[in-house]
Homo-oligomer: A and B are copies of this chain.
Amino acid sequence: MNAVRLEDIARELNLSVSTVSRALSGKGRVGEKTRARVLDAVRESGYRVNDVARSLRMRTAKNVGIIVPDISNSFFASVIKGAQQRCRQAGYVLIVCNSDEDSTVEEELLHTLLSKQVSGLVLASVVESRSILAQYDPLKAPIVYIDNMPQGAEGYDSVAIDNRAAARRLTLSMLDRGYSEIGMITGPSSQSTGALRRQGFEAALGERGVAHSEAWIRTGSFTMESGYREMREILKLSRRPRAMLFANNYIAYGAMNALREEGLSVPGDMAVTAFDALDLTGLIAPLITSVNQPAQQIGSRAVELLLDRMRNPDQAGTRVILEPGFVDGDSW
């Protein structure tokens, strides 16, 4: 691939490969003159180390893998951006994979990445239980979970916000603003994000002694279609909520479309809040009140944690909790 090897420039300078290698790595004693000559020759020949060979020898490839359910989801795109940035700073490279929300694909990708000898893995996993992943444990590549925490992954490294607390606070704020009839559309209970946000919501209502109709709480998937569908279901009820909490951006968008179709005004007829409903365009009206995960930071911290763990393999189990952002919009 890269035609010129260490051996080539060694021969050119009448040196041994090892000397050239040392001159480049900076480790080990090498004469000043020799080093200069080597550096020159390297520059001229356009030599570039073959990282595959180095990785084999060093038994570490300096790359990290990341698997997300959907790269084109702006949240994950930002996570990836943050992760890549941090990787680059550390001289690592980021291998990005899309599981398409399919745990079979996810496992296959995991397999591939481990074959590639990744130094570490960032997983926005869609598997329900970590036990499926357990077979990969003996391998020394550390794993950091983000976003969804599979059941049984509690003792593992992770980076996330406190979803339960965030949902609780948001709900309390809604109550404080005078909304007492609040509904929620959340994601699958098999995903911790879906489950915890619901828990926080219910906790807040419970604390304030607000009776909540089960019919106002719906569990779908984290998609626009689901948000739309579940919102319509709620709107069919004879007694409707006066406010809604949506567990992510897609659900919010779908639901808002349903509200619009019904001719309901926000917040006049229905107040709305959501998770991660960032408006990148500035054109969405009303601006949705939203608790937002610091996506890019999640990515960069995840990689940092990985780097940490590679130096300190024994200290797994760090749970990094990041503070979410808050946009006080016009939708409530």
A179-195 interface code vs B (CB 8 A; 1 in, 0 out): 00000000000000000
A243-274 interface code vs B (CB 8 A; 1 in, 0 out): 00000010001101100100000000000000
A69-87 interface code vs B (CB 8 A; 1 in, 0 out): 0111010011011001100
- Report which of B2, B88, B113 forms a contact with A93, defined as CB distance below 8 A: B113
A51 within 8 A of B: yes
Q: Which of A160-215 contact B (CB under 8 A)?
A: none
A119: shortest Cβ distance to chain B, in Å? 8
Known: A55-B52, A84-B96. A139 touches B1 (CB 8 A): yes
- CB neighbours (8 Å) of A70 from chain B are 81
Is B94's CB under 8 angstroms from A95's CB? Answer: yes
Q: How far is the CA of A285 from the CA of B85 in the complex (A)?
A: 35
A95: shortest Cβ distance to chain B, in Å? 5
- Report which of B81, B85, B141, B285 forms a contact with A1, defined as CB distance below 8 A: B141
One complex includes copies of this chain to the number of 2
Is B95's CB under 8 angstroms from A63's CB? Answer: yes
Known: A77-B77, A109-B88, A282-B224. A61 touches B52 (CB 8 A): yes
A29 within 8 A of B: no
Q: How far is the CA of A48 from the CA of B114 in the complex (A)?
A: 8
A11 within 8 A of B: no
Is B51's CB under 8 angstroms from A116's CB? Answer: yes
Is A114's CB under 8 angstroms from B2's CB? Answer: yes
A47: shortest Cβ distance to chain B, in Å? 10
A318 within 8 A of B: no
Q: Which residue of B lies closest to A139 (CB)?
A: B2
A59 within 8 A of B: yes
Classify the secondary structure of A's interface with B: mixed
- CB neighbours (8 Å) of A61 from chain B are 52
A37 within 8 A of B: no
A18 within 8 A of B: no
- CB neighbours (8 Å) of A1 from chain B are 59-60, 117, 139-141
Q: Which residue of B lies closest to A49 (CB)?
A: B115
Q: How far is the CA of A138 from the CA of B93 in the complex (A)?
A: 23
Q: How far is the CA of A249 from the CA of B282 in the complex (A)?
A: 12
Is B74's CB under 8 angstroms from A117's CB? Answer: no
- CB neighbours (8 Å) of A285 from chain B are 285
A53: shortest Cβ distance to chain B, in Å? 5
> Could you list which residues of chain A lie within 8 angstroms of chain B, going by C-beta atoms?
1-3, 46, 48-53, 55-56, 59-61, 63, 70-72, 74, 77-78, 80-81, 84-85, 88, 93-98, 109, 111-117, 135, 138-141, 224, 249, 253-254, 256-257, 260, 279-285, 296
Known: A1-B140, A72-B77. 5 other contacts (CB 8 A): A52-B61, A84-B96, A84-B97, A93-B116, A257-B282
